[in-house]
Amino acid sequence: MTQSSTTRPARGFGHTLRGLGASLFGGVTATLSAVGIKIAERETNRDEALRETPLHSLELRNLRGQPVSLARWAGRPLLVGNVASECGFTPQYDGLQALWEEYEDRGLVVLGFPSNEFGGQEPGNGEASEHFCRLNFGVSFPLFEKCRTAAGPEQSPVFRLLGGATGRLPGWNFGKYLVSADGRSATFFPRSVAPGSSRLRRAIEAALPGD
């Protein structure tokens, strides 16, 4: 009787452990499945962001407050950057201008969007920003009114679309997006990728319209 009473609980305990393990495994599997579904949905939404609203369809304002339609550059790839005048990466203006001068005739359009949200490094108004860029870096590519890149009610429609398409938003000044000629896909390049880097230049070459 003593032996029987000690072995039965052992079998019951093992059965409980097996049941618990199966329950946990089932829960983990269900959780992973749900995560997979959410990731798939997010990837689908990301792919559709620019397909539904091509970037070239946007109506914006330049640094002087004048309306500008990106449709004027329809059929041309766009290199979009969030820029600032008092940043350690501000010398990248030189590289962006060099790309503009080299590739403009082949179809590339460089667009600059000043932003004061990272370290308060673009404190001036539109006129001050334009004067700084023209005077110090000879910038001649289009510059737009100051904007916010971060998600929220004040986020620029440009960065809302680009963030949705790539899953990436700038973490600092001089993030870059290379947008396809049809405005329906984009690739993000962080500030650490300089305008003159081989990585970015190869991507630009691939995005240029055929001769």
Are residues 1 and 70 located together in one domain of the fold? no
Burial class (CB in 10 A: 0-12, 13-18, 19+), 206: exposed
Judged against a pLDDT cut of 90, whether residue 74 lies above it is answered with yes
Residue 136 annotated to the active site: yes
Are residues 35 and 137 located together in one domain of the fold? no
Are residues 95 and 188 located together in one domain of the fold? yes
Are residues 155 and 95 located together in one domain of the fold? yes
Are residues 76 and 45 located together in one domain of the fold? no
Are residues 47 and 142 located together in one domain of the fold? no
Q: Which of 62, 82, 116, 136 is catalytic?
A: 136
Are residues 59 and 46 located together in one domain of the fold? no
**Confidence category of residue 46, pLDDT binned at 50, 70, 90:** low
Residues 77-97: what's their mean pLDDT? 97
CATH number of the domain to which 147 belongs: 3.40.30.10
Q: Compute CA distances 74 → 47, 59, 147, whole Å.
A: 20, 13, 22
pLDDT at 29: 44
Closest alpha carbon to 205 in 120, 108, 98, 71: 108
> Which residue matches tokens 């199966």?
22
Among the three residues 52, 75, 95, which one is the final residue of a domain in this structure? 52
Total domains present in the chain: 2
Give per-residue pLDDT as tens, 127-182.
889 999 999 999 999 999 999 999 999 999 999 999 999 999 999 999 999 999 99
Are residues 37 and 74 located together in one domain of the fold? no
Are residues 47 and 63 located together in one domain of the fold? no
Are residues 110 and 194 located together in one domain of the fold? yes
Range of the domain at 7: 1-52
Are residues 46 and 64 located together in one domain of the fold? no
Among the three residues 28, 52, 76, which one is the final residue of a domain in this structure? 52
